[in-house]
Amino acid sequence: MLRSFDSLALRQLLTRRLRAALTAFGIVLGVGMVFAVLVLASTIRHTFDELISSAWGKTDLAAVSKSGGQIPAGKLAELRAVPGVAKVSPMVGVMFRRLHPDGSAIKGAGAGMLVAGIEPDNPPYDFHFLSGSMVAKQGMQIDVEQAWAQKHGLRLGEAIAVATPTGRARLQIVGLFRFSKGLSFGEMGFAGISMATARQLSGQENGYMQISFQARDRSRVRELQQHLQRVLGSGVDVKTPQGFSDQLAKQLQGLNVVLYFFSGVALFVGGFLILNGFNMTVLQRMREIGMLRTLGATRLMIVRSVLLEAIMIGGVGTTLGLGLGLALSEGLIKMISSIGVPVGALQMPASALFIAVALGLVVTLLGALMPARRAGRIEPIRAVLGDAEIRRGPSVRRAAVGLALFVPGVLFGGSFWFSDSTQGSTLGVVGGIALTMAMFIGMTLAAPYLIMPFVRALSLAVRRLSPTAGRLATDATRSNPARTAATAVALTIGLSVVVVNSGISTSMLHTINRQIDAAYARDFTIQPLDQILGQSGQAIATPVAKRIAKLPGVGVVTPIRATVTQLPGRSSDSTPGLIMAVDPAAWGNVDHTPISGSTRAQALAGVARGGVIASKGYAAALNLHVGSQITLHGPGSSRRARVVGLLDAATTGMADSMQISLATMSEVYGITEDSQLAVTAASPAQRTQLGREIQALLARDYPNLEAASTAQVKSQIQSAVNRQFNLFNAILAVAVVISLLGVINTLAISVIERTREIGVLRALGSSRWQVRSTMLDESLLITVGGALAGILLGSVIAFFWIQGMDTFMPGISFAFPVATTITITLAAIVLGVLAAILPARRAARLDPIAAIAYE
Amino acid sequence: MRQTTDTVWYRMRMTRDRQGLALNSMDANASTAAAIELRGLVKVYGQGSTAVRALQGVDLTVAPGEFLAIMGPSGSGKSTLLHLIGALEQASSGEISVAGMRFAGLGEKELTRLRRDHLGFVFQFFNLLPSLTALENVYLPALIAGRRGEELQRRAMELLGRVGLAERAQHLPSELSGGEQQRVSIARSLMLQPKLLLADEPTGNLDSHAGGEVLDLLRAVNREEDKTIVMVTHDPAAAARTDRIIFMRDGRFAGQTPGGSTKAVLEFFADGHIAAQAQAHTGTSRAA
């Protein structure tokens, strides 16, 4: 029983269940995506917290080289003497890779093991031994984290074959442990060996990767921290476990912002669906609303009734969205662990729940606000005149406002998102999001002018293909351009972001490929498997270079030693850059990266004297030029260095990068192991043979290494870039699905509106098939028109944004995303057909007699 | 002569309705006030060269308790007249007062209130909410007026009984015939006990049998509950069931005749009375 006027809203909703469901689904997906991303972000954060606190449960402070290098071994005695220190536990880090029984390396992250070389009686971590009571004390003994061991079928007492930096080894599992909170490291394995064994297998003769401390008095940790920091110098970070956790979280902030933004796009499009859905419901219910007004309902009552409906749709949509979000977050977690971020068990904080619910309801209400106001303005006379739709031509003023909002986002959005000076900063994030959102709203306002030209152009083709059905479909889309555009614009926005995304990734890849082609004068790159230059310490032991140099047909073998860290002058939470050390005498033979500010020979001579070649983006951000001085801080020492040249390319894919000599790297950063080896053949004729020789050597003795041709290096970079962008595209795909629902909604209404027309057509002898094809044509006009506009806009945005990325990636130029464009166009056709299925069936099934009588 | 007819008509009605209750407490002369009073009513749609003058100066007085039919060809202005009386549209000029209340100067809120409290509408297309049962449709106006409680349902049931649909109370409009839907809509129009019912082609969408039932019902409501009814119709048979029929042509009053038999109405057309009366009323059109 209807109890009050307000409960009418619920009744209305229940009678239009399918429509309500379609409208709500946009919110379900949008909220789902937002919630999934929030859950993902907090899961990652929680994983790091747990990882650090469970491993370092009893540790009060830890010291780690900022640049990933070694803390000099000589400091240890000095540290032990610091007052207030109860315990000092040093650690040597090394990476192993498990081998197949045939001796070849197992690929993929799951085969990697982070191995800590520790003093067995003085472990830096909270090991809880589950089986085996003895910590690996000597020789080829190893303790393995039990969850990982179980996953890979490793048992106590078994021997595992691994590739180490110095070659193959077999280690016997003598202990299985877990950390105090039982957390595992995700894909990677974690293991402990004795310090002596670690030194032997890693080839690191001295120095420590990390030193942990326990304080005598836990209330005076801060003082101790300052004291230790003074002893270790500015090249080393001394922090509490929480401090490291916070730092990691800050570094992930950039990724989070991008994820938030894309999920925001999905919700924005969901809000659009609400707007369109309610607009149409209101137009369709004009007679009814007019009647309510004649019965004495006030404007306010009508507005409230529409908003109530919206709240109910928003409430149901949001609730379902939360459920969907949990499922989506599982998928996202899989994707994000594929880009190398460790993630543990799902975390669902109350704040995420609150934000997702609040956003869902607010977006629904905002979407319904305009239609509600429009409903309130419906005159009582509509009760008599009926549901005549107010057909307005597109407003020029609206389009002008739209253009004004669109242009700044196009021109400056790129520099906010990617520029060196704003990237990662609050200003950059807020500015980037504000400009981009304004840009979308601008696109929406100007939509009729953007989309209708495409629809008109397509109309010509459609009418040629099917004169009758095409004509009717064309008229339907044109009779109300505002509505056609409103339907298509959701798709346009979703797809334009996809095109921007892939335009940027395509341009980046093209640029990197082009620059690698121009810069790489080497024939082979020897590198650890699955490893990007400079990232997390899997190294190549020194003997490898010597052994390759002895192979017949070798021209030059020269090492590259690299570390990823904040460059001098950058704050500790900014995006890290790459420090790359080369042998200035040999480097010119294997690398032709363009250098500006001086000649290559001069620059390399400068590097030999302790100078630095800086990347253009880094130099621009810190206002450096040839002749400027910077200070390098490392765990070994600090020293002034002169900028001797500027790198004109971004072959490493990092905005911040610099080149120094091997000597500087060792003295300042304590890094003495090779990250890569660049190898050339003595003559092109010997290249193939040399390649075979190297492969044979690596397969025999160093299965964790590979010899990649330049083409392979390029394809590795490509797949790394694609993995990252695919994550974004997965989120955007949800936005595209939402906009598709909008198209279905519009078409469904179109059928209802044209019931009489369809009846007349059927009475005049149109076949069901012809009616169907009219609906199909209309759907295609909307989806393909919207998609083409999206491609055009996306390309324009990507083109301009890339101009602002020059400091991020010097020499970047726009490359049109051909593959994406073709995919999107084909997808739009498929989507158009899919969207038409239900409405077309409904139209075709209309009984002509009843349809003609329909009012 | 014009003055004479006006006066005769008015006196006739007033005598019959002397016992009529005050329609509007704001009006000191409520008991003697006309149910509807129109003076010099003009309605123009659009502007400039495309302007359409739907009403070109209409005067009309309807006595309390009168059942009036308005007839005329399409575009004659009869519906516009009804809409202006129902405060569904605003007049371009002229004066309207319903139940002693003048529309001039009333704001949106007051007009809404006026519609709610004093007017009942019956439409050609019934305009029932498809999601509500017959019963709920009937008491919807009370909910809109902010009333609640069991009482509403009892009253709505009574009204459904009154229109002969007590057994169909729980049916949705889609489960009712056209005639039944129209009877539900008449019950709805009576829910808040307005003194004036405005019916726009109430039988226009019904077969003659159902149309006859609806007219019987309107007549009964008019007689037994003392409701003033203004009905726009195309159907001479329907018009014949009323007290008085006025004819419109080109936005002007074009003649009037008492109701009675269909034959009399048709004869009135055939005898050219309308044309004759219209000629006599050049300038302002007047019927009272």
ipTM rounded to 2 decimals: 0.82
A103 and A229 in one domain? yes
For chain B, say whether A666 makes contact (Cβ under 8 Å): no
Instruction: Closest CB to A287: pick one of B88, B127, B200.
Output: B127
Question: Which positions ≥6 away from A140 have C-beta within 8 Å?
Answer: A169, A170, A171, A172, A197
Q: What is the 3-state secondary structure (H, E, C) of A227-291?
A: HHHHHHCCCEEEECHHHHHHHHHHHHHHHHHHHHHHHHHHHHHHHHHHHHHHHHHHHHCHHHHHH
Report in angstroms the alpha-carbon separations of A567 from A276, A575, B99. 50, 9, 87
Number of neighbouring beta carbons within 10 Å of residue B177: 12
Mutation target for B interface from A15, A19, A281, A294: give the one with most B CBs within 10 A.
A294
A683 and A556 in one domain? yes
Q: Which residue of B has its CA nearest to A17?
A: B131
Contact yes or no for A294 and B108 at CB 8 A: no
A781 and A838 in one domain? yes
Higher-pLDDT residue of A248 and A144 is: A144
Higher-pLDDT residue of A469 and B95 is: B95
Give A483's pLDDT tier (boundaries 50, 70, 90).
confident
pLDDT in tens, A488-519: 888 888 888 889 888 988 998 888 888 888 88
Q: How many domains does chain A have?
A: 4
Helix (H, G, I), strand (E, B) or coil at B39: strand
Contact yes or no for A287 and B109 at CB 8 A: no
Give B197's pLDDT tier (boundaries 50, 70, 90).
very high
Tokens matching residue A484: 């056609």
B-contacting residues of A 283-302, CB under 8 Å?
287-288, 291-299, 301
- Chosen domain end from A390, A420, A436: A390
DSSP H or E run through B254: strand B252-258
For chain A, say whether B83 makes contact (Cβ under 8 Å): yes
- Would you say residue A3 lies in a domain? yes
Contact status, residue B83 vs residue A384, Cβ threshold 8 Å: yes
d(CA B223, CA A788): 67
Number of neighbouring beta carbons within 10 Å of residue B207: 11
A257 and A170 in one domain? no
d(CA A567, CA A315): 48
Give A648's pLDDT tier (boundaries 50, 70, 90).
confident
Question: Which positions ≥6 away from A25 have C-beta within 8 Å?
Answer: A273, A317, A738, A741
A42 and A141 in one domain? no
Longest dimension (CA), chain B: 56
d(CA B72, CA B219): 21
pLDDT in tens, A591-619: 988 898 899 999 999 999 999 999 888 88
Min distance B202 CA to chain A CA atoms (Å): 12
Tokens matching residue B242: 């009323």
For chain B, say whether A752 makes contact (Cβ under 8 Å): no
pTM above 0.90, yes or no: no
- Would you say residue A88 lies in a domain? yes
Is 3.40.50.300 the CATH classification of the domain at B2-287?
A: yes
A295 and A340 in one domain? yes
Number of neighbouring beta carbons within 10 Å of residue A319: 16
Contact yes or no for B123 and A297 at CB 8 A: no
Among candidate residues B125, B58, B70, the one with its CA nearest the CA of residue B94: B58
| The amino acid at A632 | L
Q: What residues make up the domain containing A234?
A: 61-239
Contact status, residue A473 vs residue A777, Cβ threshold 8 Å: yes
- Please report residues of A whose CB lies closer than 8 A to that of B130: 15
Write down the domain spans for chain B: 2-287
Number of neighbouring beta carbons within 10 Å of residue A74: 9
- Chosen domain end from A646, A677, A708: A708
Among candidate residues A779, A789, A782, A778, the one with its CA nearest the CA of residue A821: A789
A784 and A730 in one domain? yes
- Would you say residue A408 lies in a domain? no
* Alpha-helical segments (H) within chain B: 2-16, 78-85, 108-118, 134-144, 150-162, 178-190, 208-224, 236-240, 262-270, 273-280
Higher-pLDDT residue of B265 and A784 is: A784
Q: Which residue of A has its CA nearest to B151?
A: A3
For chain A, say whether B279 makes contact (Cβ under 8 Å): no
pLDDT in tens, A729-743: 877 787 777 777 777
A301 and A255 in one domain? yes
Contact status, residue A648 vs residue A613, Cβ threshold 8 Å: no
A71 and A123 in one domain? yes
Contact yes or no for A8 and B129 at CB 8 A: yes
Torsion, CA A116, CA A118, CA A120, CA A122, rounded to 10? -120
Contact status, residue A772 vs residue A839, Cβ threshold 8 Å: no
* Nearest-10 crossing angle of helices A241-284, A17-55: 180
pLDDT in tens, A685-713: 999 999 999 999 998 888 888 899 888 88
pLDDT of residue B172: 93
A234 and A271 in one domain? no
Helix (H, G, I), strand (E, B) or coil at A194: strand
Contact status, residue B165 vs residue B158, Cβ threshold 8 Å: no
A513 and A530 in one domain? no
Tokens matching residue B55: 């009403």
Contact status, residue B39 vs residue B95, Cβ threshold 8 Å: yes
A73 and A36 in one domain? no
Number of neighbouring beta carbons within 10 Å of residue A213: 24
